[in-house]
Structure 1
Amino acid sequence: MVRPPTAAQRRVLDAADPVTGRLRGTEAQLAALVKRGLAFRHPRPPHDHFLTPAGHRIREAPPERPPTGEPRPDGAAGGGRGDGDDGVFAARPGGAEEPAASGPARLREVHSAWQGLLELRRMTNPDGAVDRPCGWERAHLVRAAALALEAAGHRPEGADADGYRVRATPQPEAVAVYAPDPGTLAACAATLEGAGWQPGECTEPRTGVRYLLASPRRV
């Protein structure tokens, strides 16, 4: 059974960039996370440390309450970025339950998250390419597609009656994108294609509803 991270290690994990997974900490802390398989040291300068998939899973899991009752630092998960209860940036896949908050602050957050994702592509794709999705996006399909759409100026359902809605599918490495307006659906397809995805229009057999089936492009 894998031991849970220590309180200090958990704070480093929680403070990782919510999109790129870039870590900040002492050399000893980072080395300990690498040893446990929760982080890796990038081979190219400046040799920053990033979360591994296992590190991302632990970061996104609710922390166990420490036996001493030590409180979790406010805003540790994202340094105050985003609109979640703990300050973590959250991509919006669309839905009636989503907040409709927008404005300059949200635009800055989305722009920053998208630039961080492009940097993650550059740092983790073997050839440094930024025109196609990286491993993090393949592990977080709905969040990645929603971020690409919102970063391009599309509005999610809930904030816009004609907005997009991204949902997981049973197919591996594929998401479904819905929009009530055909023009919005076509615009979403163009955005995803430009962001390195392969979208194709499909029709639900029972309802006749049109939607996009989109997968991250590999080459």
Structure 2
Amino acid sequence: MTRPPTAAQRRVIDAADPVTGRLKGTEAQLTALVKRGLAFRHPRPPRDHFLTPAGHRLRDAPGIPETAEPAGTAEVSAGTASGVFAARIGGEEGPEAGPARLREVHSAWQGLLELRRMTRPDGATGLPCAWERTHLVQAAALALEAAGHRPAGTEGGGYRIRATPQPEAVAVYEPDPEALGACAATLEKAGWQVGEHTEPRTGARYALASPRRT
């Protein structure tokens, strides 16, 4: 276990960008967080500092000391109980698609594209990053909501994204066949491999989506 961060360091962690984990602080504060394994400095200009997964968990679980981890890639916080942006997977209660929600979704998607750029040697943004492959449901939901698709409400209508037993694959359900095809097209554009299938027991159509690697 490491010593808890100081109050000033804690304020820097709490103020990190909720999507990319980008940090702002004095050079001494940022250097100290790097030494604790709670932040890392990106190797490419402008060489900003970002939270490590340990830093993210420390921010999202106030008061719980963290064991430092080696510096790694920044982690997107898409859905925690601490008020961080949560992608809508469909079927849950959530905020209406008003201006504030649209701004949040747009900001989260831009942050995810920036994370893709930062974590690829060529700086490209066309393929999903490692975070998306470990948060499949949230990543697919963000891609759909950012493109303007409507998540299902508590009374139905709209897309629903669910985990599947298959590795690196999610199922997207949408009762409207045209809307289902549009969801599939959006995910393909976002760097996912998508195929439409029919459930043998119910006859329901769904799209099976997996993040592409190449």
- The residue aligned with 2:68 is none
**Are 2:89 and 1:93 equivalent residues in the alignment?**
yes
Letter in 2 for 1:34: V
Alignment of 1:32-51 (within 5 A): 32-51=32-51
Cα pair distance change 1:101/1:37, threshold 3 Å: same
Q: Deviations over 1:46-78 (max 9, x none)?
A: 100122233333333x22379xxxxxxxxxxx9
Q: Deviations over 1:118-158 (max 9, x none)?
A: 12211221210111111222232222111110110101111
Q: Deviations over 1:69-117 (max 9, x none)?
A: xxxxxxxxx9xxx99985522211111x322512122112211221222
**d(CA) in 2 for partners of 1:58, 1:204:** 41
Cα pair distance change 1:139/1:36, threshold 3 Å: farther
Give unpaired runs (5+ residues) of structure 2. Answer: 66-76
Give unpaired runs (5+ residues) of structure 1. Answer: 67-77
TM-score when scaled to structure 2?
A: 0.81
Aligned with residue 113 of structure 1, among 92, 108, 111: 108
**d(CA) in 2 for partners of 1:2, 1:166:** 38
- The residue aligned with 1:64 is 63
- The residue aligned with 2:133 is 138
**d(CA) in 1 for partners of 2:57, 2:166:** 21
For the 8 Å contact 2:79–2:87, the answer to whether it is kept is no
Alignment of 1:1-219 (within 5 A): 1=1, 5-60=5-60, 62-64=61-63, 87-95=83-91, 97-158=92-153, 161-219=156-214
Cα pair distance change 1:213/1:107, threshold 3 Å: same
Question: How many pairs does the alignment contain?
Answer: 203
TM-score when scaled to structure 1?
A: 0.80
Cα pair distance change 1:55/1:177, threshold 3 Å: farther
For the 8 Å contact 2:58–2:64, the answer to whether it is kept is no
| RMSD of aligned residue pairs (Cα, Å) | 2.8
**d(CA) in 1 for partners of 2:35, 2:204:** 49
**d(CA) in 2 for partners of 1:57, 1:169:** 26
**d(CA) in 2 for partners of 1:32, 1:168:** 39
Letter in 2 for 1:23: L
Question: What secondary structure does 1:200 align onto?
Answer: strand
Shift in Å, 1:44: 0.8
**d(CA) in 2 for partners of 1:2, 1:140:** 27
For the 8 Å contact 2:188–2:194, the answer to whether it is kept is yes
Letter in 2 for 1:89: F
Which segment is superposed worse, 197-206 or 173-182?
A: 197-206
Letter in 1 for 2:54: A
